[in-house]
Amino acid sequence: GENVEQHPSTLSVQEGDSAVIKCTYSDSASNYFPWYKQELGKGPQLIIDIRSNVGEKKDQRIAVTLNKTAKHFSLHITETQPEDSAVYFCAASISGGAGSYQLTFGKGTKLSVIP
Determine which residue in the list 44, 56, 75, 77 makes contact with other proteins, applying CB under 8 A.
44
Does 115 sit near other proteins (CB under 8 A)?
A: no
Does 40 sit near other proteins (CB under 8 A)?
A: no
For the bound state, the minimum distance from the C-beta of residue 66 to other proteins, rounded and expressed in Å, comes to 16
Identify which of residues 70 and 98 has a Cβ nearer to other proteins in the complex: 98
Whole-number Cα distances in Å, 82 to 30, 34, 40: 33, 22, 14
Adjacency order of strands within the sheet including 4-7: 4-7, 19-25, 72-77, 62-67, 56-59
SS3 of residue 5 by DSSP? strand
**What amino acid is encoded at 106 in this protein?**
G
Residues in contact with other proteins by CB under 8 A are: 1, 4, 6, 32, 34, 36, 42-46, 49, 89, 93, 95-108
